[in-house]
Chain A
Amino acid sequence: SQKIEQNSEALNIQEGKTATLTCNYTNYSPAYLQWYRQDPGRGPVFLLLIRENEKEKRKERLKVTFDTTLKQSLFHITASQPADSATYLCALATYSSASKIIFGSGTRLSIRP
């Protein structure tokens, strides 16, 4: 069956450290993958998009990698801050499914001072 999984439901790290979130997928032919941030009571906010033929993308303190062999994307936040605390969602866009964009269940990230 087709699945998208984010490695953990919750992640707690110390301020200043690098947070690394994982998104794994099975049985999809990806077109691209996106990462979103969602704060409580609000809609997701787009952060980064990486295509199947790209290995890495960066935006300020954010970095995303995409390994189509491992079927995995890693999302890094360097020099993390308490304001980075939120739920992070990965979303896979595929041409092989009726539902073109499939979201993972999210990882709730908490950065402690």
Chain B
Amino acid sequence: KAGVTQTPRYLIKTRGQQVTLSCSPISGHRSVSWYQQTPGQGLQFLFEYFSETQRNKGNFPGRFSGRQFSNSRSEMNVSTLELGDSALYLCASSLGETSLGTSTDTQYFGPGTRLTVL
């Protein structure tokens, strides 16, 4: 079974631009979560989508948004990029919704998209 794929793997943007990142979950997985990882803040939760609905959201500004399609693929968008948005953006898929506390919660991470904002 193919793992989680993320595209693109690397991206360079300038301040003020916007960016869209894509994530394809493992086949059959319905939950997709997004995380931002930086050396200073570690891995921080952005949001989770399950069955095309946002189930949970972390403490990030409204410039960060996402969506999930009927085939469970997900995109996240960051508008008006700032230097501090430079990070590794990770997507994780799971069979079930991660807030349920069940065995279907196990998250499988993709390789990430390395975003650099200049």
Contacts and interface: CB of A to CB of B under 8 A. Distances in A.
A46 B108 contact: yes
B71 to A, nearest CB: 21
A44 B45 contact: no
B100 to A, nearest CB: 9
Nearest to A6: B42
Interface residues of A, number: 25
Interface string A3-46: 00000000000000000000000000001101010000111111
B30 to A, nearest CB: 16
18 contacts: A42-B111, A43-B92, A43-B109, A44-B43, A45-B109, A46-B108, A49-B105, A93-B98, A98-B56, A98-B57, A99-B45, A99-B59, A100-B48, A101-B98, A102-B45, A103-B35, A103-B42, A106-B42
